[in-house]
Amino acid sequence: MNQQSPYQLLGDDKIRELASAFYDAMDELTEAEDIRRMHSDNLDEIKEKLYEYLCGWMGGPPKYMEKYGTICLTDPHKPYAIGAEHRDQWLLCMDRALEKIGAPEQVKTMLKDPMYDLADFIRNT
């Protein structure tokens, strides 16, 4: 029996909610002020990009790749000095977002290490 992907377990609508809840958490958590300052005032476009990226990353349709033709996570982050503290702020927001959408423990467990690896990959300081 094949294990279901996070995309299959959450579904498209929940992943869209996750992307939105992630940036809501960034807006709400004082602990995430540093990474919030790296973003524009209006988060609508970046919420959509995160949703598109997460769809493919979690095993669903490659919406980001289809729209932008490539997935390079380091280039968009180059203008910012991103250290371990920023990685941890990002992970805090993602943990909060997973809670907010009511993600099952199975999904949280599946995503824990890959999310850390993803966030750590973006570090450049």
Domains and CATH numbers, the chain: 10-122 (1.10.490.10)
- Rounded mean pLDDT of 90-107? 98
Q: Has residue 115 got a pLDDT over 70?
A: yes
From first CA to last CA, the distance across the chain in angstroms is 42
pTM score of the predicted model: 0.93
- State the pLDDT at residue 76: 83
pLDDT the model gives residue 72: 80
| CA–CA separation, 61 and 22 (whole Å) | 20
Banded model confidence at residue 74, pLDDT cuts 50, 70, 90 = confident
For residues 113 and 119, give the distance between their C-alpha atoms in angstroms, rounded to a whole number.
10
Whether the CA torsion 86, 74, 105, 35 is positive or negative: it is positive
pLDDT at 3: 87
Q: What is the pLDDT of residue 70?
A: 81
Q: Could you tell me the pLDDT band of residue 2, with boundaries at 50, 70 and 90?
A: low
- Tokens 């702020």, located at residue: 89
Q: d(Cα 51, Cα 13) in Å, to the nearest integer?
A: 10
Give the chain's length.
Answer: 125
**Do residues 25 and 100 make contact, with C-beta atoms less than 8 angstroms apart?**
yes
pLDDT tens figures, 20-73: 999 999 999 999 999 999 999 999 999 999 999 999 999 999 999 999 988 788
Query: Among 62, 68, 67, 50, which residue's Cα sits nearest to residue 118?
Result: 50
For 113, residues 6+ apart whose C-beta sits below 8 A from its C-beta are: none
Confidence of residue 88 (pLDDT cuts 50, 70, 90): very high
